[in-house]
Amino acid sequence: MADLPIFQNTLKNIISCTGVGLHSGAPVTMTLHPADPNTGIVFILQYQGKIVEIPANWKHVIPSPLCTTLRHESGASVATIEHLLAAFQGCGIDNVIVALDGVEVPIMDGSAQPFVFLIDCAGIQKQAAPRRYIKILKPVSIQDGEKSASITPSDGFTVSCDIDFQSHAIGKQTFMLTVTDSSFRKATSRARTFGFAQEISQLREKGLAKGGSLKNAVVVEGDAVLNEEGLRYHDEFVRHKVLDAIGDLSLAGLPLLGHFHGVRSGHYLNYKLLEALFTDKTAWREVNATANSVKAPAPKEQLLQHVS
């Protein structure tokens, strides 16, 4: 069985796209730049006439409804970063400079697929630096009523989510993914964000979802999906939750070696889990990848055999 990636990756070329912010509704252009080893993912934007850099790290997260937002000490912020970060994580990209002329990453079609396409168009460049990982050493969990999030030791990176909605269009759904380049692209990258028709007017009164539409979200009304094309996966809703978790957990700053399990969890709970993890220095350690020290996880079927 092949090892997990040993070397860091960046992009071969600069590439740009334009779109609208899901919540601001404002047009935004985003440009992805190759970056040196150990740079990580860094957002760059203008704020009050100055260039501000915000590393994609949990330490910069601020509470915000319905998306993940980073804030710089100057007051500058960048929102709705989770789908882009999921694409970087899923495609094994470690180092990128993300330049924006707005305050939100463009929502595109509401999934990570357009960002995967951008990455493929730019090309992936292997770098002469070992890939570093955060290895989970013991279970860490948090709970908020019926919501919970946990991470436990694993030889690879797996993500599972459970959701439960009253609408029969969603209901109870569970999905687990062993995160690799191929599995992410096939099983999760196309899953779109979703919302409920009855909540749209309330969100817009609060200054949210101004750029939302049937072109960039799955919209549910009662027990029906309003999008004419229907769903991309039969369980697209929970797959998107897995996608969100992959993006949020990348804010650890390095790829994780652990198993995440979220029950009705969202962006804020995912962030609080990272906060709890890094507060406990006995729960993790940083490791460099080598051919012998970091092994890929067993396939999903084999994992299930071990559990049964």
Running DSSP on this structure, what letter comes out for residue 295?
B
Residue 1 vs residues 57, 182, 298: alpha-carbon distances, Å: 31, 15, 9
Selecting among 23, 33, 83, 267, the annotated active-site residue is: 267
The neighbouring-strand residues paired with 173 are 163
Neighbouring residues of 39: CB distance < 8 A, sequence distance ≥ 6: 10, 95, 96, 97
Separation CA 296–CA 294 (nearest Å): 7
Question: Smallest Cα–Cα separation from 183: which of 294, 295, 90?
Answer: 90
Confirm whether 83 is a catalytic residue: no
Q: How far, CA to CA in Å, does 10 sit from each of 17, 52, 198, 237, 242?
A: 18, 21, 42, 30, 24
Catalytic residues: 267
